[in-house]
Amino acid sequence: MSAIQRLESGVIDQIAAGEVIERPASVIKELIENALDAGAGRVRIETQGAGLSLIRVLDNGSGIASGDLALALERHATSKIRNASDLQQIQTLGFRGEALPSIASVSRLRLISRATGTVEGAVLTVQGGEQEKVQPHPHPPGTQIEIRDLFFNTPARRKFLRSAAAETRALSLRISQFAIAHPQVRFEHIHDGRLLLEAAPTNSLKERVAQVQGVEVAEHLLEVEEESTGGLLVRGLVSNAAGSRGNRSGQWLYVNGRLIQDRSLGHAIHEAASDYIPRGRHAAAFLFIRVPPEAVDVNVHPAKWEVRFSQPGRVRSLVYGAVRGAALRVLAFSTAPTPVAGMPEDSGQPVAAPPGGEWATVLDPGVPAPGQTLREPVRATFGSTATLRPQPAAPEAAARPLPLGGEAPTSLVPLAQYRNSFIVATDGSDLLIVDQHVAHERILYERILRQWDEGKAERQPLLLPRPVTLSPEEMVTFEEVRSELEEAGFRIEPFGPREVILREAPAVAGSENVEALVRGLLEEGIEARQGRALASLRNRLAARCACHAAIKVHTPLSMEKMEFLLRELLRTRTPFLCPHGRPIVLRLTDRALERAFGRC
């Protein structure tokens, strides 16, 4: 066994860098935190080559005295704490004193600064951890840090980086998250010579969201605020259903101004918004949690992503209450009928009732309370909809999803519509319940893919071209997936640094809220490019278009439309499963019914 020995300082620095500096976005985070801690009112970020070639951050903060430049590059050298007791009262974003030396150990760093009240600045250059002599250098008050050739001396780290677009998207997202947290600070981001973000100072959080994410995002946000004893406060913005996302990437949580990740708080948001956010969707949220510094430990993670609360239950309840307050102000859904893509218009002619008579009688199997009698049978006229309220059946009589390997029925006859969301039908022997939304989604999904395979994607020019402002990360994704969007039937043209013009959309998608569809497709593009999905981007785009255009729940259907929907469903390749993997049809057999009523 080899003898124990002390590691060289360069190796120690690279180990520390491995904990803190994972990718260019990590460098951006550390440098912006230093600028904000220095009291900057303006932060300008310039990047090239996804941040690997160049990261330059300029601020107008308090600056660093020339005599302290070399000390700033030493490990655990900081102006933000003095002793161990200060760790219990952290009120700055940075405090470890590891960021600059860690970055310098894996890059070529140039630090230029001029402290407030001095007449001349100074410059210090570091090559892979080796410092050169501090030299006088003209510079306005504030600091400029240049990082070139990131990971030039650690090629193994470069192998673990994602594509240039993914790294650009990540660093743009990090800048956006800081800009949202500090609306009083001017933020600018120039990437490869192009302006991606310019956010002027503002006192309005919603206005800052509009600057960063776009007006279309901000208009779906509701203000929330909840306060508790002991200095606890939650305020911010949470979206309505129209502003929801397919995942939790749109939930940004800050504790005392610090962006954090906390699964428990994410669950609290989800639970509080579950009444008005559709299943499978998540509310977007920009929430700022204020707690006394001594009630939170920010020193539990090298990159400072995680924190530990002294009373986590109280913080969770506060977040839940804030979002719940917004939920109570949101109208869950509209029952107004709307045109549905791919569905025939009603003929106005009466639809003949199937054999067995003009009426369908459905009994409510609910057990009456003492002193009450069974409710009268509910009779639903064919050609109209019935609102049925059966109680849960016995376990052995529960409806089961049709098996993936099972044979589809040759025909389905609609009997009634339940809650304007489910079609109650029969295949001649059993009772079947069909989710109208996912059934229509499956029909449209296969139709869209078939059109794409044949090169016949039907386009629909928009009556008026629609401008959309994208977030910086959405703009990066748009450029990456533009060809796929064109194949899908969209015609979208760049109109500015972060603006695009929608001119045409797939005919199946309709023209209602097409801007939200495009944002959803960009969201799918981000997930597909990150490799988190087995399905190809093409299939994800088709599924998103189908979901957007499919008939919604709580939409009344005539008997004619129900017949059409069931007929088309049976013509699909996979009539039992929607494109997202949810069941479409549940079956309740005659035998299960008889067993539930004690007949066998």
Domains of the chain, by residue range, sit at: 9-203, 220-327, 333-341+360-365+377-600
Q: Is 304 left (phi over 0), alpha (psi -120 to 50) or beta?
A: left
Give the largest CA-CA distance in the chain: 97
The pLDDT of residue 358 is 30
Count CB neighbours of 532 within 10 A: 9
Q: Which residue has the tokens 């009120």?
A: 91
Q: Is 398 left (phi over 0), alpha (psi -120 to 50) or beta?
A: beta
Listed range (185-194, 221-230, 261-270, 480-489) with the worst mean pLDDT:
480-489
Output 362 or 528, whichever has higher pLDDT.
528
The pLDDT of residue 192 is 95
* DSSP classification of residue 119: S
| Per-residue pLDDT at 168 exceeds 90 | yes
Query: In this structure, is the dihedral angle defined by the CA atoms of residues 484, 485, 487 and 491, taken in order, positive or negative?
Result: negative
Output 525 or 460, whichever has higher pLDDT.
460
Q: Dump pLDDT digits (tens) for 280-320.
A: 789 999 999 999 988 888 776 666 678 889 899 999 999 99
| Cα 209 off chain centre by | 15
The pLDDT of residue 547 is 86
The pLDDT of residue 157 is 85
Output 522 or 95, whichever has higher pLDDT.
522
Instruction: Classify strands 186-191 and 42-48 as parallel, antiparallel or unpaired.
Output: parallel
The pLDDT of residue 107 is 93
| Per-residue pLDDT at 207 exceeds 80 | yes
| Cα 116 off chain centre by | 41
Q: Is 280 left (phi over 0), alpha (psi -120 to 50) or beta?
A: left
Count CB neighbours of 32 within 10 A: 26
- What gap in Å lies between CA 284 and CA 251, rounded to an integer? 5
Q: Dump pLDDT digits (tens) for 57-88.
A: 999 999 999 988 888 887 765 655 555 555 55
Output 374 or 219, whichever has higher pLDDT.
219
Architecture of domain 9-203: 2-Layer Sandwich (3.30)
* Burial bucket for residue 185 (CB in 10 Å: 0-12, 13-18, 19+): buried
Asked if residues 80 and 96 have their Cβ atoms less than 8 Å apart, the reply is: no
Instruction: Return the closest-CA partner of residue 322 out of 357, 348, 285, 359.
Output: 285
Distances (CA, A) of 290 to 295, 346, 540: 10, 56, 39
For residue 495, what are the contacts with CB-CB under 8 A and spacing of at least 6? 467, 501
CATH 3.30.230.10 fits 220-327, yes or no: yes
Listed range (192-201, 356-365, 475-484, 561-570) with the worst mean pLDDT:
356-365
pLDDT band of residue 113 (cuts 50, 70, 90) is very high
Count CB neighbours of 309 within 10 A: 19
pLDDT band of residue 518 (cuts 50, 70, 90) is confident
Buried b (16+ CB within 10 A) or exposed e, 3-12: eeeeeeeeee
Distances (CA, A) of 108 to 23, 63, 190, 330, 593: 15, 21, 20, 52, 75
Q: Dump pLDDT digits (tens) for 342-398.
A: 666 665 554 443 333 332 222 222 333 333 333 333 333 333 334 333 544 444 445
The pLDDT of residue 135 is 94
| Per-residue pLDDT at 96 exceeds 80 | no
Q: Is 315 left (phi over 0), alpha (psi -120 to 50) or beta?
A: alpha
Provide the 3-class DSSP secondary structure of residue 290. strand
Cα-trace Rg, the chain: 30
pLDDT band of residue 338 (cuts 50, 70, 90) is very low
pLDDT mean over 500-520: 82
- What gap in Å lies between CA 431 and CA 383, rounded to an integer? 19
Helix (H) or strand (E) holding 476: helix 472-487
Asked if residues 497 and 194 have their Cβ atoms less than 8 Å apart, the reply is: yes
Q: Dump pLDDT digits (tens) for 122-148.
A: 999 998 778 888 999 999 999 999 999
| Per-residue pLDDT at 425 exceeds 90 | yes
| Per-residue pLDDT at 329 exceeds 80 | no
Torsion of CA 75, 81, 83, 85, to 10 degrees: -130
Asked if residues 468 and 216 have their Cβ atoms less than 8 Å apart, the reply is: yes
Instruction: Classify strands 308-309 and 359-362 as parallel, antiparallel or unpaired.
Output: unpaired
The pLDDT of residue 11 is 63
- What gap in Å lies between CA 431 and CA 561, rounded to an integer? 19
| Per-residue pLDDT at 580 exceeds 70 | yes
For residue 454, what are the contacts with CB-CB under 8 A and spacing of at least 6? none
Q: Dump pLDDT digits (tens) for 231-289.
A: 899 999 999 888 888 888 899 999 999 899 899 999 999 999 988 887 778 999 999 99
The pLDDT of residue 313 is 93
Q: Which residue has the tokens 């309709």?
A: 510
The pLDDT of residue 98 is 73
- What gap in Å lies between CA 172 and CA 192, rounded to an integer? 12
- What gap in Å lies between CA 522 and CA 472, rounded to an integer? 12
Output 334 or 169, whichever has higher pLDDT.
169
Listed range (181-195, 285-299, 360-374, 575-589) with the worst mean pLDDT:
360-374
Architecture of domain 333-341+360-365+377-600: 2-Layer Sandwich (3.30)
- What gap in Å lies between CA 31 and CA 58, rounded to an integer? 9
| Per-residue pLDDT at 110 exceeds 80 | yes
Locate all alpha helices (DSSP H) within 511-589, ordered by sequence: 514-529, 537-549, 559-569
pLDDT mean over 207-233: 92
| Side chain identity at residue 172, one-letter code | S
- What gap in Å lies between CA 46 and CA 196, rounded to an integer? 10
Separation of first and last alpha carbons in the chain: 75
The pLDDT of residue 283 is 93
- What gap in Å lies between CA 501 and CA 326, rounded to an integer? 32
Percent of the chain with pLDDT over 70: 77
- What gap in Å lies between CA 489 and CA 452, rounded to an integer? 9
